[in-house]
Amino acid sequence: MHRRPRNDELHQPHVQESGESARVPAIDVDPPALFNLITFGIQDKHYKIVGDNTISINQDGGYKTDQGWVFGNVLIGYLKEGQAPDTWERTKQLNETAKRPEVNGFNFNTEPYKTESVNIFAVSEQYGKALNTGSVDPAKILPKYQSALKKAGVEKQTAEMQKQLDEWLKANGKK
C-alpha cells in the first residue's frame, strides 16, 4: 500500500538495498505552488502576499532567482507589486496573436563556410563574453572585436547567409 512520505523523508536520499534504482517519493504539490516556490522562494520569508495573486519581494530575504520564464509557465505564477492585474491575460493574448517571422524555418548551410564559422566562433568566445558583461571598456575592445571578426570572415559569411536567405524566401513564396 502506498503512503504519503513524511516531511523528514522528503529530504533524505532513498536507496534500495535490492539494487533497484532509487525512487523519489511522490509529492503532492500543485503546479502553481511549485512554480511559485522555485521562482520566488518561501512565503513570508522571501516574499509576502499583499493582494489577490500579488506578492511583495523581500529584498533582504536571500532568494534572488525571480526568473520564472526559466522554470515554466509564468502565467500560473504570482504577480509582483507594481504589475498590472491583467498582466498574465495580456501576455497570453500577445502569445496567441504573435505572428511568426517570415524567416521561420530558414537554416543557414554553413558547410561551405566551416572555416569561417569556426573562426567567427573563436573570436566571439575571445571577446563576446567580456563585452556582454561589461567587464572591459567597449571603446577599446569593440574595435578589436570587429576587426577580428572581419579577419575571421564574418563579411563573407554574412553575404552568403543573405544569399541563401533570399533564395529560401523566393523558393518558399515569401518574397
* Domain regions of the chain by residue span: 28-89, 111-171
Hunting for cell 566562433 — which residue is that? 121
7-22 pLDDT tens trace: 454 444 555 566 566 6
**Average pLDDT of the residues in 95-105:** 94
pTM of the model: 0.54
Per-residue pLDDT band for 64 (boundaries 50, 70, 90) equals confident
Q: What are phi and psi of 36, to 5 degrees?
A: -65, -35
Q: What are phi and psi of 51, to 5 degrees?
A: -175, -175
**Average pLDDT of the residues in 23-46:** 84
One-letter identity of residue 103: V
Per-residue pLDDT band for 170 (boundaries 50, 70, 90) equals very high
pLDDT the model gives residue 90: 97
